[in-house]
């Protein structure tokens, strides 16, 4: 029964989210040179083809290349394994918890795929207001961020009500 639930949630959410991430990165790779871009909403959203050798927001970019992919690969696989164990063992039927776990796995595997193919992550979403510019990111980062936000909601708001 648990296997069926895990497979259903993975198939309905994690796989499509992973696919959207990889498809959008493919579009950027195929149609834009690194560093090129265009404006979607003036003064707010640009699409800029960027690469990130580090983790979120460029953390650990200075890590030597020979260690970078194995390090991030191992961390990703450990995190995904832990999430799958949590998913497998969870007793409650929380759709929110299942959703956030699937989003985090989809994002983690999307960025891992980039690291294995390119040795770095393809980023392209650039949000800014005036001089403030958020670090460029991608759909995998979006899934991870939404998943983490949902995990906070589940942990601090939903579980306290129950």
Q: Over its length of 162 residues, how does the chain's per-residue pLDDT go in tens digits?
A: 666 776 777 788 899 999 999 999 999 999 999 999 999 999 999 999 999 987 766 667 777 778 888 888 899 999 989 988 887 777 666 788 889 999 999 999 999 999 999 989 999 999 999 889 999 999 999 999 999 999 899 888 776 665
Place of tokens 């998913």: 87
* Residues annotated as catalytic (active site), given as ranges: 123, 141
Between helix 2-9 and helix 95-118 the angle, nearest 10°, is 60
Domain count, the chain: 1
Q: For residues 28 and 49, is the Cβ–Cβ distance under 8 A?
A: yes
Residue 28 to residue 156: CA distance in whole angstroms: 37
Domain holding 146, by residue range, is 2-161
């Amino acid at each position: 029964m648990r296997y069926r639930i895990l497979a259903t949630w993975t198939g309905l959410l994690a796989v499509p989210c992973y696919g959207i991430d990889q498809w959008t990165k493919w579009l950027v790779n195929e149609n834009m040179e690194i560093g090129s871009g265009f404006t979607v909403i003036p003064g707010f959203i640009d699409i800029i083809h960027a690469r990130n050798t580090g983790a979120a927001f460029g953390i650990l970019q200075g890590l030597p290349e020979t260690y970078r992919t194995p390090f991030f690969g191992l961390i990703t696989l450990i995190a995904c394994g832990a999430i799958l164990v949590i998913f497998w063992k969870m007793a409650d039927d929380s759709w929110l918890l299942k959703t956030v776990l699937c989003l985090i796995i989809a994002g983690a595997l999307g960025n891992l795929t980039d690291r294995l193919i390119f040795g770095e992550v393809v980023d392209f979403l650039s949000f800014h207001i005036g001089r403030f510019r958020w670090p460029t990111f991608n759909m995998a980062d979006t899934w991870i961020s939404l998943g983490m936000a949902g995990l906070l909601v589940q942990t601090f708001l939903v579980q306290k009500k129950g």
